[in-house]
Amino acid sequence: MDKIAWGKFAHYHYDETDLDQEPDLEFPFVPGSRFRAVNIGIDEPALQVNLEDFYKGVDIPWTLAHDEAHYVVQGECEVQVHMPPLMLESQTIIARAGTTYFLPRGCRVLWRVLSEEPFRHLCFCYPNPSYPIPVARSKQAELAASQGPR
C-alpha cells in the first residue's frame, strides 16, 4: 500500500528580479527557443510552482502529462490549446498580464509570444512533475535568513 506523501505549507512573494540572473535555456526538443525559469520554493508532492519567461521568436509546443494553471504577470502571448483524446477540440486565446488559464493533462499547447518583453507567468503544475528548476534567489535568501546564523 502506498504511503500518503504529505506536503508542507509554503508561500512566495513575487520578486520581479528573480529571473534577472537566470540563464536562457532552450525548451526540450524546440531548437532556437528561449525561456528561463525558477522554482518559487513551492515544490511539494502535489504541486510545483515555477516562474517562467518565454521569449518572442520560436513558438514553443508542449504536451502536458499533468495539469497546469498559469497566471500571467507581464507580456502577451497567443496560447493555442488542443484537447485530448483526438486533439480535434481547439481554442486560441491572447493571454496578457492578469490572465489566468488552465491546461488539462494530455492537452497539446503552443505558445507564440507576441510582445517584445518576455511573457512572464507563474506556472502551477500538479501533481508535481519534478521539473529540474533552480530555486529563486529571493526564496533562497528568505530561507537562509529564517535559519539564522549557525
The SS3 of residue 96 is: strand
Cis ω on the peptide bond leading into residue 28 (within 30° of 0)?
no
For residues 26-53, b (16+ Cβ closer than 10 Å) or e, as one string?
ebeeeeebbbbbbbbbbbbeeebbbbbb
Residue 150 pLDDT > 70, yes or no?
A: no
35-129: in CATH 3.40.50.10420: no
pTM of the model: 0.93
pLDDT band at 44 (very low <50, low <70, confident <90, very high): very high
End-to-end CA distance of the chain: 40
Span 70-118, pLDDT tens digits? 999 999 999 999 999 999 999 999 999 999 999 999 999 999 999 999 9
Task: Please give the pLDDT value at position 1.
Answer: 66
Region 35-54: mean pLDDT is 97
- The region that residue 143 occupies, defined by phi over 0 for left and psi between -120 and 50 for alpha, beta otherwise, is alpha
Locate the domains of the chain by residue range.
35-129
How does the average pLDDT of the chain come out, rounded? Answer: 95
